[in-house]
Structure 1
Amino acid sequence: LKDQATKLVKSKDIKAQRGVFAKLSNEMITAVKAKNLLNAPVYVQYCPMKKASWLSTEKSIKNPYYGSAMLSCGNVVETIK
């Protein structure tokens, strides 16, 4: 997680940041499922255009991969409680 987070922060290119964010998100999803430390539901959301997931504390989709161009693209694929 730390390596991906460092790459994300150091990158100045939005396309590269989104690629790193996808990897970081996969690692976070795995960690959240394994640790079971949640006191509220977390939603695994998926963008079919990017073929990548992310975590959200809200059910509403706010796609981080395409910005305002496709902010609502995606769906909730899993709820982690």
Structure 2
Amino acid sequence: MSETLIPNIIEFMAAVDPFDKLTPKTLRDVAGMITIRYFGKGEVIDLQESDQLYLLRTGAVEQRNLDGTLRARLAAEDFFWFFSINTS
């Protein structure tokens, strides 16, 4: 993570529940571990990559069930988590 981006990330996260409850040091530590990703409209997030927590800064995401029905609509300051289940 670029050191120049960390203050901006801290400012954003400090206004989002539950991250606003972290101590300043923990918030800075977490901000330093973040990977920023940009997704275009209609792009599908590959959930096979690894365990991920997504925090939306701008835009919106639709979560869909396997049958294609809408599960949830998420927007700025919402977050969601996907994890891999290892069955081997």
**Which bracket does the TM-score occupy, shorter chain normalised?**
under 0.3
Normalised by the length of structure 2, the TM-score is 0.25
User: Which of these two proteins has the greater Rg computed from alpha carbons?
Assistant: 2
Normalised by the length of structure 1, the TM-score is 0.26
If asked which structure has higher relative contact order (CA below 8 Å, sep 6+), I would say 1
